[in-house]
Homo-oligomer: A and B are copies of this chain.
Amino acid sequence: MDSHISPVDLPKAYRLINHGPTVLVSACHAGVDNVMAAAWACALDFAPPKLTVVLDKSSKTRELIERSGAFVIQVPTVAQLRLTNTVGTLSLSTEPDKLKKSGVELFGMAGLDLPFVAGCSAWLACKLIPEQHNQQTYDLFIGEVVGAWADERVFSDGRWHFEDADPALRSLHHVAGGHFYAIGEPVSFGD
């Protein structure tokens, strides 16, 4: 496990995705791990923290989440651009070695039977709140965040510090077709 990972207080977990990054969604069931990319993930509540994520019916990760009732949302970095794009385009259904091809390295967290993607800047372990109507009608899944961690080189004291960290640790914001923007510079009210 990466030595830079620190726990994040749950009431501040929403801040890890409040700025709208593209995320990686990971899950496992019956010995099968998978990871996908998702631009459509969003905070939903502060305490207990909840979030939404849109998961297409064709995605293998969705099936693992429906079966296991749990998943991880993690924030990939500029250094993981290729990984993010690759897990977002290959499917485990047709590419059994998808994770290897994508360069994904997984690690575990004590007490949680969930796959975490190494090298990300933040991780939110989620328990699925089953809502069949949303899942079937809108592909919309709701999770309660039960654990949160961040790379302390870029998120500490409840705050992102992109401007003081290695630019390779900036978050990715997908537009379309493999084109992303990195998060930019801070602007604050009163500047």
Contacts and interface: CB of A to CB of B under 8 A. Distances in A.
A186 B179 contact: yes
Given A40-B42, A42-B41, A187-B78, A18 B174 contact: yes
Contacts of A170: 184
Interface stretch (A43-51, A64-72, A116-124, A145-153): A43-51
A85 B50 CA distance: 24
Given A52-B140, A138-B142, A189 B178 contact: yes
Contacts of A180: 19, 186-189
Contacts of A173: 18-20, 173, 183
Nearest to A51: B40
5 contacts: A41-B42, A42-B42, A78-B187, A181-B185, A181-B187
